[in-house]
Each structure stands twice: as structure tokens, then as C-alpha cells.
């Protein structure tokens, strides 16, 4: 059964954030709210957790996982960014966007697209996520919690707990969260290409 943590949306309790991060460090799988619905999160080195996310979401090996970052400096260690991409990402973050970019050597190969060697990165605008990332001290490997057959992410903590109780270790509930997945922008070619329209305003990239 998953532990259910009721976290304050504006002033997250350090004790509860600490419990969630301890679970991550113990190779646990977390469901947590973001500015674009719920997401599944694990530590970068958690191979078993990666398989668990693939099973829950029925993902193939071409799926772009997302590295959720605390700030732009952390993001810049994980992907190669030219000047145009730098300006575009800087202007749009924090916010409900995922950017696809070439991965640096800091990113484990199993997390990259198998042929393109790219990875998704994002900086969410959500108090609880920032608290988690601050306590963890490194990016979170993440995937939007969209169940097989659905097109939108889960948005209610109690429903996540109800539906996925047996396959998660922790569910964080902090009340309302975003209801649309991130807008995904591919910046690998030098020109922005919107590959999924979601919560973020895509017009700035078109």
C-alpha cells in the first residue's frame, strides 16, 4: 500500500517532504502533483522504478522521460543548449513546458531516446515540487501520470491512491494541481517544434 502524505500547498511541511525524499532515496516510486497534473517520480539511478513506470503507463522504449529540475542551472547540466534555446527556455520557465534537447554525458543512456540521444527537461512552477527538488538535491526522473487509454493526467490525490495503491510507494496530495499535461517543445534541430499542445502557451514557439 502507498503512504498518503497530505502536504500544505503553500507551505509544505519539511517532515513530510523529508519522508517523500527518503522514499525516493530508497528506490521508491512517488506520485506527486505538478502545475500540469500528477506525475510519477523516481531517483535517476532507480532502474527498477523505471520499469515500474513503464508498466503502469504501458510505455515503449521510445518514450521520452522527463528530468524535472529545480532551476535553470541544474537543467543546463543535463542538456546541450544553444543561444536560441537558452533564451526560449529562460523566458518560459518555471512553467508547464517540457523541452526535448540533446542529452549531456550526465544523463544515463537508458533515459535517452535510443536513436536521437535526446531527453525531456522541465522546471515546474509548483511549490511542493520545488520543495521536493530542494530536499533531494538532484533532478527527479519523471513521467506524467496519464493512465493507458486516457489523454489527460490524473489530478486528484485520493483517486491516484485509490487506483494505484498497490503499485506506488507514496502519494503526495496538496489539493489542486494543473489539469493539462505540459506543452512539449522539441528544440533539437535549432528551430522550435511543438509536438504536444498542453498547459503552456505554445504560441511563443510557433
Instruction: Report residue 110's pLDDT band, with 50, 70 and 90 as the boundaries.
Output: confident
Compute the distance between CA of residue 145 and CA of residue 149 in angstroms, rounded to an integer.
12
Q: Are 153 and 38 in contact (CB under 8 A)?
A: yes
Mean predicted confidence (pLDDT) in 75-88: 91
Pick the CATH number of 3-205 from 2.60.120.330, 3.90.870.10, 3.90.220.20, 3.40.50.300: 3.90.870.10
pLDDT tens figures, 172-191? 999 888 889 999 999 998 78
**Cα–chain center distance at 41:** 7
Amino acid at each position: 500500500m502507498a503512504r498518503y502524505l497530505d502536504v500544505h500547498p503553500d507551505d509544505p511541511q519539511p517532515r513530510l517532504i523529508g519522508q517523500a525524499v527518503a522514499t525516493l532515496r530508497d528506490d521508491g516510486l512517488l506520485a506527486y502533483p505538478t502545475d500540469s497534473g500528477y506525475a510519477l517520480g523516481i531517483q535517476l539511478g532507480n532502474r527498477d522504478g523505471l520499469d515500474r513506470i513503464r508498466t503502469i503507463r504501458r510505455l515503449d522504449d521510445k518514450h521520452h522521460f522527463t528530468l524535472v529540475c529545480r532551476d535553470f542551472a541544474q537543467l543546463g547540466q543535463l542538456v546541450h543548449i544553444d543561444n536560441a534555446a537558452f533564451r526560449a527556455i529562460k523566458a518560459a520557465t518555471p512553467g508547464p513546458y517540457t523541452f526535448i534537447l540533446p542529452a549531456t554525458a550526465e544523463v544515463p543512456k537508458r533515459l535517452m531516446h535510443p536513436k536521437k540521444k535526446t531527453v525531456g527537461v522541465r522546471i515546474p512552477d509548483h511549490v511542493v515540487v520545488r520543495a521536493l527538488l530542494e530536499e533531494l538535491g538532484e533532478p527527479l526522473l519523471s513521467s506524467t501520470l496519464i493512465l493507458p487509454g486516457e489523454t489527460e493526467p490524473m489530478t486528484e490525490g485520493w483517486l491516484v491512491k485509490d487506483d494505484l495503491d498497490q503499485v506506488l510507494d507514496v502519494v503526495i496530495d496538496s489539493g489542486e494541481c494543473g489539469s493539462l499535461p505540459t506543452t512539449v517543445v522539441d528544440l533539437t534541430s535549432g528551430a522550435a517544434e511543438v509536438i504536444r499542445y498542453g498547459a503552456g502557451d505554445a504560441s511563443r514557439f510557433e
